[in-house]
Amino acid sequence: MTLVTLQRRAPVAPGAASCHLCQNALGGNFQDHLLVGTPGTAAVRAVICAQCGDCLAGLIDLCGSDLRILIKDDQPPIQPTDEDRAAPASELDQTRHRLTREADTLGRTAQSLRAEADKLGIVRDTENPHGRQPGGSGRAV
């Protein structure tokens, strides 16, 4: 049987941006770690958020730590209802979408400005009498 240790309020692990169990963003100075293996040699298997740590701690409080877990899921996948589909996006979602669109637009503007700058650089080069000659020969037709 796999021995799992829940290490509460562990220092933040570098590179872990989201909870391994619920995918919520990790923040703050502490997070929970799931270690697998015998004490002393256990290694961090996953970094999780404090809420998921609370769930696991609550399960252990309820059932004790000597447990095996089976998952039964006989129900068909949940389909979104008409009500879910009709629900307006939250203000935060709308703001997120708007900012994403603006970021895309700014990215395209930056690209076109860079292209214009490149063109201007080429024009300046070709107009420079000491530089590269425009329409330089040497190309076989």
Amino acid at 64: G
The contact mask relative to Zn ion for 5-44 (x = CB under 5 A, - = no) is: --------------x-xx----------------------
Nearest to 14 by CA among 35, 41, 33, 1: 33
- Does residue 99 touch Zn ion according to CB under 5 A? no
Number of helical H runs and strand E runs in the chain: 3, 3
Provide the edge-to-edge strand list for the sheet that holds 43-48.
4-11, 30-36, 43-48
Nearer to Zn ion, 22 or 120 (CB): 22
User: At closest approach, how far in Å is the CB of 48 from Zn ion?
Assistant: 5
User: At closest approach, how far in Å is the CB of 10 from Zn ion?
Assistant: 14
Contact criterion met (CB below 8 Å) for 42 and 34: no
- Does residue 47 touch Zn ion according to CB under 5 A? no
By CB under 5 A, name the binding residues for Zn ion: 19, 21-22, 49, 52
